[in-house]
């Protein structure tokens, strides 16, 4: 009886040990399955993610330079004195907006009085010589005047007509009224230069202009390119411009001209950018900060920076291999320009990389 109880106890203990072992194996298998499921990248997961394709492009570099605002030369007029005289009434000030044909100033001019006299005299000569010509022509047809007299009267009349046209052209160029010689604006724009005040004596042979009028709806940005950067800048390169007056406003354009001459004083080459100037915010002589996106001539794989993962001082991306497999790839970045990263090593054009929730996948695949 005692032996039977002993055997029964041994059998019960064996069953318990076997059960515990089986349960442990079952838990181990479940844990293994859960771990495997944690790192599995499924088709449905990939379909929910944004996938970018690595492209190849000429690497860009940002060059930071300085410049200044200048008026568009094709929309700017310098007004010089056509006659001598004394300024009596200057109607505009520096910075004023003027319209085409608006009076800028009036001058008292003895020369203008002479032009008027010449025009009146020429008109009188035309009338006189015309009557003489018509009378001689009638006499010539009647045989009472010689051909020489007829030709002389005709010549006098033609000379009087030519002088009248000349005097009329002078009057049309030099507009005047009873007040004097009128200086008018030939275009609409802003007065950006003014060298005339009331009672100023003006000479026609003076090389200094009286006014400069400029249309500032479009302006130039003249960029100073240093010798070390000349080879990197090309016509057509995109440019971003900011000013001290409007630090949060970015003006964009492209280089449309690079001048061939080197400034001997500053040792720079000038480049020109034409940009729209809505609201006439940009004024001539304003200082400008210029960023040029220049091509380096080197072709590199390029990706959007949204796909980058930074971990332990290194850069990574998650690369999609095959239909439903993802792996971590360390990369070496050559340079960044705005939202683009040019890759020195680790990727090649045509590779597919994850561009959304990549940090989650990175942490899952890393474990």
* Phi/psi at 254 (5° precision): -135, 150
Extract the runs of DSSP E, i.e. beta strands, from 144-267: 176-177, 180-184, 189-194, 201-202, 211-214, 218-226, 238-243, 251-262
Which residue has tokens 């060059």?
A: 63
Q: pLDDT at position 357, please?
A: 86
Quote the tokens at residue 180: 């004097």
Q: Is 118 strand, coil or helix?
A: helix
Asked if 156 contacts 133 with a C-beta cutoff of 8 angstroms, the reply is: yes
Residue pLDDT, tens place only, 32-63? 444 445 557 777 787 888 889 888 876 667 78
Q: Residue 163 pLDDT > 80, yes or no?
A: yes
Q: Kindly report which listed range (83-92, 144-153, 260-269) carries the lowest average pLDDT score.
A: 260-269
Domains of the chain, earliest start first: 43-58+299-366 (2.40.420.20), 63-73+216-297 (2.40.30.170), 74-213 (2.40.50.100)
Average pLDDT in the chain: 83
Residue pLDDT, tens place only, 101-141? 999 999 888 777 777 888 889 999 999 999 999 999 988 88
Residue pLDDT, tens place only, 242-258? 998 888 899 999 999 99
Residue pLDDT, tens place only, 171-229? 777 776 667 788 889 999 999 999 999 988 888 888 889 999 999 999 999 999 988 78
Q: pLDDT at position 4, please?
A: 44
Task: Report the C-alpha gap between 85 and 83 in whole angstroms.
Answer: 7
Residue pLDDT, tens place only, 228-240? 788 888 888 889 9
């Amino acid at each position: 009886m005692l032996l039977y109880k002993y055997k029964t106890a041994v059998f019960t203990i064996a069953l318990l040990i076997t059960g515990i072992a089986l349960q442990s194996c079952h838990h181990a298998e479940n844990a293994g399955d859960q771990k495997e499921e944690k790192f599995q990248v499924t088709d449905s997961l990939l379909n929910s993610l944004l996938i970018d394709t690595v492209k190849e492009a000429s690497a860009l570099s940002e060059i930071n330079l300085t410049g200044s605002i200048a008026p568009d030369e094709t929309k700017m007029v310098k007004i010089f004195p056509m006659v001598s005289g004394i300024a009596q009434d200057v109607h505009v000030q520096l910075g004023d907006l003027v319209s085409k044909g608006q009076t800028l100033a009036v001058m008292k001019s003895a020369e203008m009085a002479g032009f008027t006299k010449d025009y009146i005299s020429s008109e009188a000569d035309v009338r006189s010589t015309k009557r003489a010509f018509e009378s001689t022509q009638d006499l010539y047809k009647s045989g009472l005047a010689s051909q020489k007299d007829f030709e002389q009267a005709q010549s006098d009349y033609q000379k009087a007509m030519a002088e009248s046209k000349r005097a009329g052209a002078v009057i049309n160029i030099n507009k005047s009224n009873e007040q004097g010689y009128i200086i008018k604006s030939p275009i609409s724009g802003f007065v950006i230069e003014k060298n005339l005040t009331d009672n100023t004596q003006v000479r026609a042979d003076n090389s200094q202009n009286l006014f400069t009028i400029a249309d500032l709806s479009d302006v130039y940005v003249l960029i100073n390119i240093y010798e070390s950067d000349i080879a990197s800048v090309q016509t057509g390169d995109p440019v971003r411009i900011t000013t001290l007056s409007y630090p949060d406003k970015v003006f964009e354009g492209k280089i449309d001209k690079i001048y061939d001459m080197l400034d001997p004083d500053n040792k720079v080459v000038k480049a020109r950018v034409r940009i729209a100037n809505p609201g006439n915010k940009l004024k001539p002589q304003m200082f400008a900060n210029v960023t040029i996106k220049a091509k380096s001539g080197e072709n590199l794989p390029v990706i959007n920076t949204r796909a980058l993962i930074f971990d332990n001082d290194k850069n990574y991306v998650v690369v999609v291999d095959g239909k439903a497999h993802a792996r971590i790839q360390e990369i070496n970045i050559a340079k960044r320009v705005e939202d683009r990263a040019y890759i020195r090593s680790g990727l090649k054009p045509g590779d597919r990389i994850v561009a959304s929730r990549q940090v989650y996948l990175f942490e899952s695949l890393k474990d």
